[in-house]
Amino acid sequence: MGFDIDISGRAGERRIAFQCRDDGGLVALAGPSGVGKSSVLNMVAGLLRPERGHIRIGGQTLFDSFARIDLSSARRRAGYVFQDRRLFPHMRVRANLMYGRREGALVTFDEVLAFLGIGHLLDRWPATLSGGETQRVAIGRALLSAPDFLLLDEPLSSLDPPRKAEIQEAIDQIRSRIALPILYVTHDAAEAERLSAQIVVMG
């Protein structure tokens, strides 16, 4: 079971509507900056409340305005990788990865290190990492929180082509090894096509 989402609401003065159904793969929200893609992720994560509609992921209802269901963000179990990565600057990579780690993750700590290729970074400070390294650590931290689904906000933004290829490979590995539903924001439709995603264009 994947995504069954039909929501509308506001973020500031902007009116936002989003609808998709998917059996459990990767759904890409594509469109230019400012159309509300990140706000949709925040609605799914429980950080922003829609005015109406429903959010069902993996067969579980997270939000339903008619049934008055609105799970807290903590109970939604989203693995959220924000556009600005948000690693803790005062904690080394190992501590960043361990922060929020929960039992029940579908991959072990060592497996995350291996398929994301970040084992050699454990004793580094976030300020010393490249953009691609930072993004891989952020994805690893999200996976270790035992999420039911992943939210990736512009994961390839501000990366050069080799680093973009690293992150695309990491996402491919997640899809093949773990099979978590992924909601993925991008402004680049070609990027979504490369990942064989179902594309929902917001305009």
Residue 82 counted as domain residue: yes
Residue 33 counted as domain residue: yes
Question: Is the confidence at residue 32, as pLDDT, over 80?
Answer: yes
At residue 68, the pLDDT reads: 96
Q: Measure the CA–CA gap between 45 and 138, rounded to whole angstroms.
A: 16
pTM reported for the whole predicted model: 0.91
Helix/strand/coil percent split, the chain, to 5: 35, 25, 40
Bigger pLDDT: 24 vs 2? 2
| pLDDT tens by residue, 145-179 | 999 999 999 888 878 888 888 888 888 888 888 87
Residue 66 counted as domain residue: no
Residue 84 counted as domain residue: yes
Rounded mean pLDDT, 109-119: 90
Predicted confidence band of residue 104 (pLDDT cuts 50, 70, 90): confident
At residue 96, the pLDDT reads: 96
DSSP characters over 67-130? TTEE--HHHHTEEEE-TT----TTS-HHHHHHTT--TT-SS-HHHHHHHHT-GGGTT--GGGS-
Residue whose token pair is 């039992």: 103
Q: Rg (Cα) of the chain, in Å, rounded?
A: 16
At residue 3, the pLDDT reads: 92
What CATH number has the domain bearing residue 38?
3.40.50.300
Residue 179 counted as domain residue: yes
Please give the single-letter amino acid code of residue 186.
T
Predicted confidence band of residue 128 (pLDDT cuts 50, 70, 90): very high
Residue 67 counted as domain residue: no
> What is the domain extent for residue 137?
23-46+74-201
What's the mean pLDDT when you consider all of the chain? 89
Residue 58 counted as domain residue: no
Domain count, the chain: 1
Taking the alpha carbons at both ends of the chain, their separation in whole angstroms is 27
From 118, 157, 111, select the one nearest 137 (Cα to Cα).
118
Q: Measure the CA–CA gap between 106 and 145, rounded to whole angstroms.
A: 10
Question: Is the confidence at residue 1, as pLDDT, over 70?
Answer: no
Burial 138-162 (b: 16+ CB within 10 A, else e): bbbbbbbbbbbbbbbbbbbbebeee
In percent, the amount of the chain with pLDDT more than 70 equals: 99
Question: Is the confidence at residue 56, as pLDDT, over 80?
Answer: yes
| pLDDT tens by residue, 61-97 | 999 999 999 999 999 999 999 887 789 999 999 999 9
Helices 109-116, 131-144: axis angle to 10 degrees equals 150
Residue 68 counted as domain residue: no
